[in-house]
Chain A
Amino acid sequence: MARVIVDVMLKPEILDPQGQAIARALPRLGFSGVADVRQGKRFEVEVDGPADDAAIAEVRKMAETLLANTVIEDFVVRVEG
């Protein structure tokens, strides 16, 4: 078993009101020096076999098909470990 991580983020040009709300909340909690926050999603995909090129390609296909909506989101696939 291996774990493949997919990080999904809204494209930079798409307004992220959730990230903005978090950024506005931080100073109220005493955290200073935060210029911006953007919120995304992390998927942990456990694959049966090793995280070889074929498995990573398959996860990439999953990301394109379902995990991310590439109209509005970018994604990065990486192997944890």
Chain B
Amino acid sequence: MRVGVVTFPGTLDDQDAARALRLAGAEAVPLWHADHDLKGVDAVFLPGGFSYGDYLRCGAISRFAPLMTELVPAAKAGLPVLGTCNGFQILCEAHLLPGALVRNAGLHYVCRDQRIRVDNASTAWTTDFAEGQEITLPVKHGEGRYVADAETLAELESAGRVVFRYAGSNPNGSLNDIAGITNEAGNVVGLMPHPEHAVEELTGAPGVDGRGFFSSIVRKLVNA
């Protein structure tokens, strides 16, 4: 199982993402933003950071990177893609996911351990969780407030496409406490929290709840 990890200028979490994938038994394949090459990977992880310095809007420039022109049609054709934090913002800017992520309601950059409820355990990245299960993952972002128009929101809710919701308190004012969503097919998932930072107790993470993302995708690819 080969899972690509994309690095843009300003990406920060690519090494943790690659490590999390290796711990789950996958091969992490580095993908470079300026290449028109997905290197034949079976899935792609868009990690967090500040790609292109967050210039203009978070993810706005990354969307037009050469790698993205390969990734967008591949994702539409069913390639599993996970975007965390800046990766989620990029997926929204690229219109692989609906809505947008804007400045936190409280204006503060939020960095803390956050409880999250899994509301959809049938996406490519969440089958190793149970529906309704609460997990704890780190969040660290200044622009994580999910917004979408009323029609889109209603569609996401009725179709079960809200994958993760903040439990306890909402760190950023996201509509409907949304922490992560999926596309119609369930292969593209974006969320603000960071599963790749919660795979080893040694690193001071709140726990190892992030492992479920990577074991889910590995299981899916093995069975494919």
CB-nearest residue of chain B to A16: B103
The interface of chain B, by Cβ under 8 A from chain A, is: 56-57, 60, 64, 92-93, 98-100, 102-107, 145, 147-149, 173
Q: Which residues of chain A come closer than 8 Å to B100, judged between CB atoms?
A: 69, 71-72
Once A and B bind, how many residue pairs between them come within 8 Å at the CB atom? 33
List, sorted by A's number, 16 A–B pairs whose CB atoms are closer than 8 Å: A10-B102, A14-B147, A15-B145, A16-B103, A17-B103, A17-B105, A21-B107, A66-B64, A67-B56, A69-B100, A71-B92, A71-B98, A71-B100, A72-B100, A72-B102, A72-B147
| Given A71-B99, A72-B100, A72-B147, residue A66 in contact with residue B107 (CB < 8 A) | no
The 5 A-B residue pairs with the shortest CB-CB distance, nearest first, are: A72-B100, A71-B100, A17-B107, A17-B103, A17-B105
Chain B interface main SS type: loop
CB-nearest residue of chain A to B106: A17
Contact count band on A: 10 to 19
The interface of chain A, by Cβ under 8 A from chain B, is: 10, 14-18, 21, 66-67, 69, 71-72
State the CA gap A62–B104 with chains docked (Å). 27
B148 and A71 within 8 A (CB)? yes
Tell me which of B60, B93, B104 contacts A17 (CB under 8 A): B104
9 more A-B contacts (CB under 8 A) besides A18-B103, A69-B93, A71-B100?
A: A10-B102, A16-B103, A17-B103, A17-B104, A17-B106, A18-B107, A69-B100, A71-B148, A71-B149
Tell me which of B60, B106, B173 contacts A69 (CB under 8 A): B60
State the CA gap A72–B92 with chains docked (Å). 11
Task: Determine which residue in A17, A21, A66 has the highest number of CB atoms from chain B within 10 A of its CB, and name it.
Answer: A17
A69 and B105 within 8 A (CB)? no
State the CA gap A74–B92 with chains docked (Å). 17
A66 and B105 within 8 A (CB)? no
B105 to chain A, nearest CB (A): 6
State the CA gap A24–B103 with chains docked (Å). 17
State the CA gap A17–B105 with chains docked (Å). 6
CB-nearest residue of chain A to B99: A71
Q: Which residues of chain B come closer than 8 Å to A21, judged between CB atoms?
A: 107
